Structure 1
């Protein structure tokens, strides 16, 4: 069978890589893809927003399954259009994707169905939002209601930070229509994890958890980004907590969407805070996470395509996982997540060990065939290890081979897991 992956980033590169391994698959297409995916997919020069052309391509090529990577085309109704054309697609329809497209909708759904999350309020008026801020105080979280590429969230430690974020969104329209409405939310404390699941109606098949690093700089400083690195599993969070999150959050959310007349098919992503009162929802996404996908899929022993097809046929397939951990570090263009400097030559990529995972995102090739930076996050470099600390050591050793003045990356990805392993080792020796 032929499979089409819609998207162009590191997540889509990882999907192409994983799908290409399936014995069920003869050819993988990526629309539009990027230059780094060409080792595992045929690129199609169609943007994610070109719905009719994508449908025509899928029909012409006899595409048996389409997986939609990014959130924007889902909220534009791309999955709806594919289904209308009688094409098999893995991704939620526009109504179900609203779980990511509107934070206010997601919060109201959680409140209605008793899904644990932080206290919140929704505003369109700046004065009312500032009055609520004075009442609640800081720290507090300010969120743009709509899509802002992972950058529309400000965790404000002080009142002045929160006031600036509110004004930037409601008065200055920093993220356009995405911040015509904002959510002010209680700041939660605890360990934050990402838990994704393959969903079809009320059937929920959880994937292995991961921990993302959203801030741009070491020590969780700087602005929020789309993600600067991730690792899986998350050794500091017990398996019982993960199982609790599946039962109290993922499954109830899938049931709620069915009851609301918005049945979900695709990847339901829950960003969770593990608080003293148990797991609570930070946010929902309607697709594979990025960069979590790049560290979760390499640990999957099962055939992703077979699992998806069986799920769509009404089955509940089991997924097998490697015990090894996987850690990935994102290299981003200087200036990210604001205005980026692109066009820098990425030297040393050919010197990398063959057993590491290199997933391209914002890169392109020049006339000499060299890779250049072409977007915010350039690539993710990942490696496996018996433990997360071992995987972490391997990744940073390989990253030292990459020479480029136009990129930066965090040096502390996975450090929390490393510290947890150290503490566990010391406890065992005592």
Structure 2
């Protein structure tokens, strides 16, 4: 088989590593890939959908797996399917469950999915008038895609006004902030559940824990994710049953009712409170960095699971009872402005962890930084502490100018 993987982050490196031992795969192609994927296959510098479609047709690609959300929202699955190409992911209409938070919130409300109370605004002054008379804290979300950064918890009306101005007037996230959701604040802990869909049923993975804030103790701005742990240590069987009954099953019923059935991944971003489990958001793809800690524990063949889902077959997911920890090493300044092009040294001294390069590329025979989240170190162990110790020991010799990472991943 020839496999095309769309994306260039740690998630795509993790997918490729998981598939790399499968003898059925003859060749890997990555669009546009990174320094890890370059060693596993061929990176191609194509990003627009027509070019990717033409490449897949020409190379007779047997399966395409889509990593990032933008390609799904832009309709890559529709285009590939139209040309008889096998691809794993939702079509454009279904991808709007991630592409538009306003659309997904309406879907949740209409289909009885347990979620926070919220109001959608597309007029700045109406939003301001609403937050002036609201209790605090509250949450403001940009409706469109903002790379995981378009959510702000506002502690007072000044925060809310500034956030609305930033999103709707200054357009810090471009068109993503034209429409906003103002949502009640839920207090609790977050968890992520990713499920495979075969077009009829959902097959959930074990829950993972993501660390979204840039700084230790969950301080600082939101990022794309500073690390992850699987399984989530706080997410109990009782929480899972609440999720299944009040979130997953109503979502599946809603997908059928709206004719949004698909074969791909669906990510449930959850908040677990004293009043139960609530849905914060849908993503219509694998999470990053949750994927990096989930896939090492998946005992199934990832290729078999994907192909079975495409064929509409049921799957039985099996996970190791070990613990996995992913640590993300970042460029100084991320998620704000940062410089790139710094050489990464010490990778050969990593002894215990899987290295998943993300924002990194080869320059001659050197690996240099090319993005904000530069690399992931992933380790497993019988306990969280064992896996945590491995990744932090391995992080010490890895150096690049201005690198930083959180020091409290998997510290319970």
Same fold (TM over 0.5): yes
Using the size of structure 2 for normalisation, the TM-score is 0.97
Equivalent-residue separation in structure 1 for 2:294 and 2:191 (angstroms): 13
Equivalent-residue separation in structure 1 for 2:41 and 2:153 (angstroms): 39
Counterpart residue number, 1:5? 5
Equivalent-residue separation in structure 2 for 1:62 and 1:404 (angstroms): 39
* Partner secondary structure for residue 358 of structure 1: strand
**CA offset digits 1:202-258 (Å, max 9, x no partner):** 310111211111111111111111111101001222123123313321232132122
Which of 122, 127, 130 is the equivalent residue of 2:128? Answer: 130
What stretches of structure 1 of length at least 5 have no aligned partner?
419-430
Once the two structures are TM-superposed, the CA of residue 125 in structure 1 deviates from its matched residue by 1.7
**CA offset digits 1:3-40 (Å, max 9, x no partner):** 11111111111111112222332222211111221232
2:207–2:235 CA contact under 8 A, matched in 1: no
Which of 215, 236, 246 is the equivalent residue of 2:234? Answer: 236
Equivalent-residue separation in structure 2 for 1:4 and 1:247 (angstroms): 36
1:143–1:182 CA contact under 8 A, matched in 2: yes
* Partner secondary structure for residue 62 of structure 2: strand
Which of 76, 86, 108 is the equivalent residue of 1:78? Answer: 76
Counterpart residue number, 2:360? 363
2:198–2:311 CA contact under 8 A, matched in 1: no
Equivalent-residue separation in structure 2 for 1:65 and 1:255 (angstroms): 28
Equivalent positions of 1:127-166 (< 5 A) are 127-166=125-164
Counterpart residue number, 1:214? 212
Which of 190, 193, 207 is the equivalent residue of 1:192? Answer: 190
The two structures, once aligned, show a CA RMSD in angstroms of 1.3
Counterpart residue number, 2:112? 114
Which of 261, 264, 267 is the equivalent residue of 2:265? Answer: 267
Once the two structures are TM-superposed, the CA of residue 135 in structure 1 deviates from its matched residue by 2.0
Once the two structures are TM-superposed, the CA of residue 341 in structure 1 deviates from its matched residue by 1.6
* Partner secondary structure for residue 319 of structure 2: coil
For these two proteins, the number of residue pairs brought into alignment is 412
Equivalent-residue separation in structure 2 for 1:299 and 1:322 (angstroms): 5
Once the two structures are TM-superposed, the CA of residue 263 in structure 1 deviates from its matched residue by 1.7
| 21 and 243 in structure 1: CA distance in 2 versus 1, 3 angstrom threshold | farther
What stretches of structure 2 of length at least 5 have no aligned partner?
none
**CA offset digits 1:236-290 (Å, max 9, x no partner):** 2212312331332123213212211222321100100011221101111010000
1:258–1:264 CA contact under 8 A, matched in 2: no
1:79–1:94 CA contact under 8 A, matched in 2: yes
Hey, which bits of structure 1, 4+ residues long, moved more than 6 A? none
Tell whether 2:190 aligns with 1:201: no
Equivalent positions of 1:193-342 (< 5 A) are 193-342=191-340
Tell whether 2:44 aligns with 1:44: yes
